[in-house]
Chain A
């Protein structure tokens, strides 16, 4: 890490400058994959399994159809092992003898027009023998509760601190409850899309909408039997991702690459919305069971959690989603006796995948709902109980990590409660008072979010960023940021440019941050886990500082102005040509992690947040209106406050959808039952609440200039804050997301019958 923090005027870090890509976007000039011309390109189409589970007996082409006009790829055409190399090798690129979910690819077709490709698909008969299928979270949760050996466990992991069972037996009071939540669709407005082109050297060039260019290279090189350097991947403008373009684009890249290599021409697949909802990954449904013990003084004696995720048909990256889940399932509060039992179960549905928060929102949904139940059992208000029990600097997390630095707790909690006058408002809650015209309620949630990869993830991937000294234009030298992090709307290009400019001590106009192309950039890791600003940004900052130092050494004097930089950099470039410097991310000294026992420093640092939701419920219709959200976040040093606020606002509105609107189930055929925007309902401009947002800065000193994660934070805590507010308004405790008027009604009828 750089020994000194370069600070010169103007200092870009901390300034809410407009996005570097803003003008292109508001003028409609940004080019997304479907906007690109693909000369001689064909269209690809995926032929899919018709039922959720079956043995594939064969594919029979209709002899009456003219197959010479199209190219068909089946599992037999895959040059290498038929697998996508994710966290295991279980998922085939194309099913060969068994398929595990409705819609799993069984063949691929390319044709000069999409219409012809689809027509060909109708002439390909899929011969199969249907097998029994497990379709829902509720089925696997029942299997789990009854120790049913039929439960197919994709993976499991526990966290132990002290002896939770013994502490529960000793506790003054025990509070138990179960919490569930369904799938959530990312619903980026730009559907998934990629193009593959064969290259002259037998390789393939893949470009389009994605979060993680190097995932595609490393996860496909076995199946394509190509060395990594023969798979070149480049990002186009990405129209939203939210995790939905993390692992899924590798599958799609497999389809277009196989078709392009066989057809010997470019092939493009852009999903329509119907396909995109039906056949791409979603947030894992969750079932969690909390058993917690309280001491007489209102402290927490024990927390025991079962945390079950519906992983869908294949493991993909569900193990790490579950890890993040269990690491957050008992986080945030002082407790010496913790046991968390995490597992991922198989269902015959589309593999669940990454979505903003990556397991943490599912965990915090249960935990922060349950904290209100504990507070009530302790005879305390939700805010008193949180203030009394929340982790602060020097406390120990469930994995035994001591919180030594950058702890925004209890600051975020105290400031949020003060800003919204929680104490005063809490007394006004309706609690289902009969005869009222409208029921009012207020609820709070408090949470930490592990910044960057879980455990030793950052140490293993060895993220690097590079800065190139090169000509930005003829006669205009500057620094070019070379990272594999993608811009998907979150503002990475802008924030990384700000950090590069400050690292160089130069004006923003002397840096450039292009879209990543694996032919040009080192692997700085995937664009996930709220790690881009913190980890990659810190590497960019470090690399820029080194580049400046190298130029100063070349010149034998310090660079004090942009003009001096231009002279020295031009002289360097004329003499030696391009200069590349790299910087590697290093975990804080003393970091220890045991991946087997889950003991140690589970994250290098934590961001902290507190959400307060105020709701109104109509006693006649049980319609829920979220009126206001008050929130404070500690994301360390805020690099760009305007962009950070945008991340929080947008994330909170996604979380609002998760809480009370976005409902998607599995129909009897094993397919998602809301497959269009008409049926999968996300918040519109008329659904948003008033938002009062602010930051408190506890910089993370081990990654200058001190940023922590932000992107996932807003997804974490809103659902339980709303559920807590709904209970304060109605007297009804809702434990299943999304909370709809229908569910409130059913629950109210049950309560009346009690």
Chain B
């Protein structure tokens, strides 16, 4: 076991992990962070997507020991005081049905809008196509992200940014 320390949704966390443990299992089973979902354990579906230093990554493909000193955001750390404009757009468009893929897609879309605040539908498709959804046919997801960008209100809502935003 090795003790690692990293920032999780704005708070410093220290946890003992075995060398083979993947980040997804540590988040879910040791830290009780349940929004990243276990869908395939092979990096295929994207349901376990988290933000690592702002970039969307598959937490099932990352060993926990690798994240020492890094900053991790899960959906628990986004829109804590209420849905972000992007989340509101997802709600309006019925962008999710069963909701199991939602945490991964919301984070992947959040990261996209942070990098590219007004994406086209094509850019959304390229950026998020690694996240699988079996319910919606994706149309509403794409529309939501494009609309959130068009309204100019969508920004990544990482907890650190939220504190300084004082909203």
- Across-interface contacts of B102 in A (CB, < 8 A): 25-26, 28
Shortest distance from the beta carbon of A69 to any chain B beta carbon, whole Å: 20
Q: B44 and A677: CB pair below 8 A?
A: yes
Complex formed: what's the CA distance from A676 to B95 in Å?
A: 26
Inter-subunit contact B47/A685 (CB<8 Å) = no
Interface set, chain B 115-155, CB cutoff 8 A to A: 124-126, 128-142
Within 8 A of B (CB), among A2-56: 16, 18-19, 21-32, 34-35
Q: Is A189 in contact with B41, judged by CB distance below 8 angstroms?
A: no
User: What CA separation (Å) do A654 and B97 show in the bound complex?
Assistant: 14
> Which residues from B are CB-within-8-Å of A240?
97-98, 100, 134-135
Interface string of B25-49 (1 = CB under 8 A from A): 0001000001101111110110100
- Best-surrounded residue of A189, A272, A488, A676 (most CB of chain B within 10 A): A189
Question: A643 near B: Cβ within 8 Å?
Answer: yes
Given A26-B83, A27-B79, A678-B42, answer yes or no on A242-B90 (Cβ-Cβ < 8 Å).
Answer: no
Q: Which of B44, B96, B129 meets A22, CB within 8 Å?
A: B96
Q: Do B34 and A189 touch (CB < 8 A)?
A: no
Question: How distant is the Cα of A19 from the Cα of B97 in the complex, in angstroms?
Answer: 8
- A161 vs chain B, min Cβ distance (A): 37
A189 touches B98 (CB 8 A): yes
The answer to whether the Cβ of B92 comes within 8 Å of any Cβ in the partner chain is yes
A612 interfacial contact with B, CB 8 Å: no
The answer, yes or no, to whether B74 is at the interface (CB within 8 Å) is yes
Q: How far is the CA of A28 from the CA of B102 in the complex (A)?
A: 7
Contact partner of B100 (CB less than 8 A), chosen from A22, A190, A683, is A190
Residue with the greatest number of chain A CB neighbours at <10 A, chosen from B40, B92, B106, B129: B40
Enumerate A181-202 residues with CB–CB distance to B below 8 Å: 186-191
Question: Are the CB atoms of A191 and B39 closer together than 8 Å?
Answer: yes
Q: Which B33-69 residues have a C-beta within 8 angstroms of A? A: 34-35, 37-42, 44-45, 47
* Minimum Cβ distance to chain A for residue B147 (Å): 14
| Inter-chain CB contacts under 8 Å: number | 165
Q: Is A267 among interface residues, defined by CB-CB distance under 8 A?
A: no
Contact flags (1/0) for A482-513 with B, using CB distance below 8 Å?
A: 00000011110000000000000000000000
Known: A25-B96, A188-B134, A684-B129. A273 touches B40 (CB 8 A): yes
Which residue of A has the minimal Cβ distance to B133? A189
* Partner of A32 from B37, B91, B132 at Cβ < 8 Å: B37
Q: Determine whether the beta carbon of B125 is less than 8 Å from that of A18.
A: no
Given the contacts A18-B91, A273-B41, A273-B42, A189 and B140 also touching, CB distance less than 8 Å: no
Q: How far is the CA of A26 from the CA of B42 in the complex (A)?
A: 23
Q: Does A649 contact B (CB under 8 A)?
A: yes
Q: Does the CB pair A27–B87 fall under 8 Å?
A: yes
**How far, in angstroms, from A677 to B95 measured CA to CA in the complex?**
22
The answer to whether A646 and B37 touch across the interface, beta carbons within 8 angstroms, is no
Interface residues on A, range: 35 or more
Within 8 Å of chain B (Cβ to Cβ): is A376?
Answer: no
Q: Please state if B98 and A688 are interface contacts (CB–CB under 8 Å).
A: no
Q: Determine which residue in B34, B79, B83, B126 has the highest number of CB atoms from chain A within 10 A of its CB, and name it.
A: B34
Are A688 and B139 in contact, CB atoms less than 8 angstroms apart?
Answer: yes
B103 CB → nearest A CB, Å: 4
Residue in A22, A645, A646 whose CB lies within 8 Å of B91: A22
Answer whether residue A237 sits at the interface, using C-beta atoms and an 8 A cutoff.
yes
A190 contacts across to B, CB distance below 8 A:
37, 39, 98, 100
A654 / chain B contacts, CB cutoff of 8 Å: 134, 137
B94 touches A189 (CB 8 A): no
Q: Which residues of A contact B28 (CB under 8 A)?
A: 35
CB distance from A713 to the nearest CB of B (A): 14
> Are B99 and A31 interface neighbours, CB within 8 A?
no
Complex CA distance for A282 and B98, rounded to whole angstroms = 19
- Point out the residues of chain B lying under 8 angstroms from A22, CB to CB: 90-91, 94, 96
User: Is A665 in contact with chain B by the CB < 8 A criterion?
Assistant: no
Is B75 interfacial (CB 8 A cutoff)?
yes
Shortest C-beta distance, B92 to chain A (Å), equals 6
Closest chain A residue to B140 by CB distance? A646
Q: Is B111 an interface residue (CB 8 A)?
A: no
Is the pair B132, A682 in contact by a Cβ cutoff of 8 Å?
yes
Judge if B101 is at the interface, Cβ distance under 8 Å: yes
Q: Is the CB of A653 within 8 A of B137?
A: yes
Is residue B76 contacting chain A, with contact meaning CB distance below 8 A? yes
A650 touches B (CB below 8 Å): yes
Report which of B40, B126, B130, B133 forms a contact with A676, defined as CB distance below 8 A.
B40
CB distance from A48 to the nearest CB of B (A): 19
CA distance A432 to B96 in the complex (A): 40
Given contact pairs A28-B35, A28-B74, A646-B140, A23 touches B83 in the complex (Cβ within 8 A):
yes
Contact mask A637-675 → B, CB, 8 Å, 1/0? 000001101100111111000000000000000000000
Q: Which residues of B contact A688 (CB under 8 A)?
A: 137-139
Q: Are B38 and A34 in contact (CB under 8 A)?
A: yes
Determine whether A751 belongs to the interface, using a CB cutoff of 8 Å to chain B. Answer: no
- With A and B bound together, what is the CA distance between A651 and B103 in angstroms? 22
Contact of A27 among B38, B45, B75, B94 (CB under 8 A): B75
In the bound assembly, the distance between CA atoms of A634 and B73 in angstroms comes to 44
A23 and B78 alpha carbons, distance in the complex (Å)? 13
Smallest Cβ-Cβ distance to B121: which chain A residue: A685
Chain A residue nearest to B98 (CB atoms) is: A489
**In the assembly, what is the distance between CA of A49 and CA of B97, in Å?**
36
A-B contact pairs, 20 of them (CB 8 A): A18-B94, A19-B94, A21-B99, A25-B96, A26-B83, A26-B91, A26-B96, A28-B74, A189-B37, A272-B41, A273-B40, A489-B99, A646-B97, A649-B140, A654-B134, A676-B44, A684-B138, A685-B129, A688-B137, A688-B138
